[in-house]
Structure 1
Amino acid sequence: MNLTILGCYAATPRTFTNPTSQVLEIRNRLFLIDCGEGTQVQLRKNKLKFSKINHIFISHLHGDHFYGLIGLISTFMLLGRTADLHIYGPKGIKEVILLQLKLSNSYTAYNLYFHELISSESEIIFEDEKVIVKTIPLKHRVYTNGFLFQEKIGDRKLDMNAVQNHKIETCYYQKIKNGKDIELEDGTLIPNEKLTFDPIPPKSYAFCSDTVYDESIIPIIENTDILYHESTFLETEAHLSEKTMHTTAKQAATIALKANVKQLIMGHYSTRYASIELFKEEAETIFPNVLLSDDGKTFEF
């Protein structure tokens, strides 16, 4: 599971910082999460293949989280894209994107599907044979969701020594990997656990964008491997976090601690601070396993 940060700063883009956007690679799928200004430029800089992005998740309709979307959609068209593109986001995202395409006479030659979200409860919004994605309802100034990405449990791993010792034919391998016991020609039943190893434990990643401190999300993200949680302010500006409905570094760390996550990644920093290291220092007073996101940074898990 790899995470590439395309942008992780709050509000407006600068010459050396970008608003929120990131790419999660999980089970050979590329998911784009939020799409602030400059996302497609950052995709090129980080040498990520546009064509592999088939699902885009937008947390909310504040500009620093989706103003890059229409440009990316248009670029897909110019590149001759034919694959379907699915966009998940708040109700209204279809209207704003289609209006821009209509007024610029720039309809796509590929199928564009909008999955508009309105629920205030966590729900499954994407699922295939390898990955499941759920919403994480957040509390911000407009309707907002985070997203929880979870691998499904994979096949069991063959113990080739055991399989060969029992002279089991290859046509039964997939059945064994699926967890089935095997009966030999002489009627002997070989339990699956004697032929396989446990599958690799599935990983999970929770993305929590703009939100006020909210413990109601803890049951949804509990025991997650990696939590990305916004940390716009330090505690010295806690009054601003309440006013703007954002979170401090200390509060993000408190959520990570109470949710028993393995790793916290912070981002969405206000640009008022001289160094983002200040966020890590504050968070580590509460939670030990803290990483700082930064534009162009890749995490491998």
Structure 2
Amino acid sequence: MAFELTILGSSSATPTSERYPTAQVLNASGRFFLIDCGEGTQIQIRRQKIGFGKINHIFISHLHGDHFYGLIGLISTFNLLGLTRDIHIYSPSQLKDIIQPQLDFLKGDLRFNVIFHPLNFKKPQLIFEDKKIEVISFPLKHSINCCGFLFREKQKEANIKKEYIRQYQIPIAQIKDIKQGADFVAANGEVILNSLLTTPPPTPLSYAFCSDTAFHPPIADVIKNVDLLYHEATFTEELREWANKTYHSTALDAAKMAKMTNAGELIIGHFSSRYKEVEPFLNEAQTVFSNTLDAVDGKTYPVKRKQ
């Protein structure tokens, strides 16, 4: 199934005529996760023809407005469309206090519950999982509490070789155990090793979102070997002093993090509106990490396994 990232917004604090504030949708094996929800997010979701009804898990990294000001409008639209699935929001705990009065105003008509899950800003934490996907939050280094998110497939079972099912007359009841690593004992007592009976499953795919943050080496251990890394690059090195002052990263910082984590691919975004072109960001990042792409609003990036 698909594992791909769609950029809805790649600007920083203020939108431009070409870039919306931060928002992304990750399609992870048919699960659609909204990551941040800047102003205009719902317009971008419609433009990219992503079904509103597919989204009921929303991850808000921190409480700067360019990362959540689109949330109440999106919730209102969910309601107007007649959606009934509960909405789960993973965010700083204060977000509930901020938008609860607006939710109360809609309460008479709201067809679903909005359920808040507070983030942990002290250590990595598993915040969501189902049979196929797990999501881990981890603290970033910003001017206010901020979390990154790691989305990772769960390890699939091994594939059993069909020809050996027939050859060794393996009962259906034992196939599941073999897929999970068990050997098989034939009727004559012969032990058939699992390594002969199966082929290994593919390596789980993973995607990490790191915005907003200064360069922060401790996160490398959490997202080590990630297939696709999105890391903010608000400035280039010429504005290093301003990056340090505002707890943001440069394109060079993002590239250093990609190299440190042994990422497969890097997407840089959260570009300051000071810049009219993104080429300086790419040129800077690619001096350290050649497999760097720039975030483009409306573009979808497949998450590919590291070579």
Same fold? TM cut 0.5: yes
Task: Give ranges in structure 2 of 5+ residues lacking alignment.
Answer: none
User: Do the aligned partners of 1:183 and 1:189 also contact (CA within 8 Å) in 2?
Assistant: yes
What do the CA deviations read for 1:70-126 (whole angstroms, capped 9, x no partner)? 111111111111212110001211111211122455652112210012432111111
User: Do the aligned partners of 2:231 and 2:269 also contact (CA within 8 Å) in 1?
Assistant: yes
Counterpart residue number, 1:201: 203
Counterpart residue number, 1:13: 15
Counterpart AA for 1:194: L
- Measure how far apart 1:55 and its partner are: 0.9
* Runs of 4+ more than 6 Å apart: none
Counterpart residue number, 1:78: 80
Find out whether 1:278 has 2:261 as its counterpart. Answer: no
Find out whether 1:109 has 2:107 as its counterpart. Answer: no
Counterpart residue number, 1:3: 5
Counterpart residue number, 2:39: 37
Counterpart residue number, 1:139: 141
Counterpart Cα distance in 2 of 1:131 and 1:289: 26
- Measure how far apart 1:247 and its partner are: 0.6
Counterpart Cα distance in 2 of 1:242 and 1:73: 35
Identify the range of structure 1 (188-197 vs 164-173) with the bigger mean alpha-carbon deviation: 164-173
Task: Give ranges in structure 1 of 5+ residues lacking alignment.
Answer: none
> Secondary structure in 1 aligned to 2:218?
helix
Counterpart Cα distance in 2 of 1:31 and 1:158: 32
What do the CA deviations read for 1:257-286 (whole angstroms, capped 9, x no partner)? 122222111000012223112111100111
Counterpart AA for 2:209: F
Find out whether 1:299 has 2:275 as its counterpart. Answer: no
User: Do the aligned partners of 1:74 and 1:106 also contact (CA within 8 Å) in 2?
Assistant: no
- Measure how far apart 1:3 and its partner are: 0.6
User: Do the aligned partners of 1:91 and 1:118 also contact (CA within 8 Å) in 2?
Assistant: no
> Secondary structure in 2 aligned to 1:74?
helix
> Secondary structure in 2 aligned to 1:149?
strand
User: Do the aligned partners of 1:101 and 1:107 also contact (CA within 8 Å) in 2?
Assistant: no
CA 1:274–1:15 in structure 2 vs 1: closer, same or farther (change >3 Å)? closer
Count of aligned pairs between the two proteins? 301
User: Do the aligned partners of 2:121 and 2:138 also contact (CA within 8 Å) in 1?
Assistant: no
User: Do the aligned partners of 1:82 and 1:110 also contact (CA within 8 Å) in 2?
Assistant: yes
Counterpart AA for 2:191: L
Counterpart Cα distance in 1 of 2:83 and 2:106: 18
Counterpart Cα distance in 2 of 1:249 and 1:14: 19
> Secondary structure in 1 aligned to 2:252?
helix
Counterpart AA for 2:260: K
CA 1:118–1:182 in structure 2 vs 1: closer, same or farther (change >3 Å)? closer
Out of 161, 183, 186, the residue aligned to residue 184 of structure 1 is 186
Counterpart AA for 1:58: I
CA 1:110–1:104 in structure 2 vs 1: closer, same or farther (change >3 Å)? closer
Out of 215, 235, 238, the residue aligned to residue 237 of structure 2 is 235
What do the CA deviations read for 1:150-209 (whole angstroms, capped 9, x no partner)? 111111112122223223344443333222222333333322221110011011111000
CA 1:106–1:61 in structure 2 vs 1: closer, same or farther (change >3 Å)? farther
Counterpart residue number, 1:69: 71
Counterpart Cα distance in 1 of 2:248 and 2:18: 23
Counterpart residue number, 1:157: 159
- Measure how far apart 1:17 and its partner are: 1.4
TM-score, structure 1 as length reference: 0.95
Identify the range of structure 1 (161-170 vs 129-138) with the bigger mean alpha-carbon deviation: 161-170
User: Aligned Cα RMSD in Å?
Assistant: 1.6
Counterpart Cα distance in 2 of 1:54 and 1:174: 32
Counterpart Cα distance in 1 of 2:240 and 2:131: 43
Counterpart AA for 2:302: E
Q: How does 1:242-253 map to 2 (within 5 A)?
A: 242-253=244-255
- Measure how far apart 1:16 and its partner are: 2.3
User: Do the aligned partners of 1:94 and 1:116 also contact (CA within 8 Å) in 2?
Assistant: no
Counterpart residue number, 1:220: 222
User: Do the aligned partners of 2:119 and 2:137 also contact (CA within 8 Å) in 1?
Assistant: no
Counterpart AA for 1:164: R
TM-score, structure 2 as length reference: 0.93
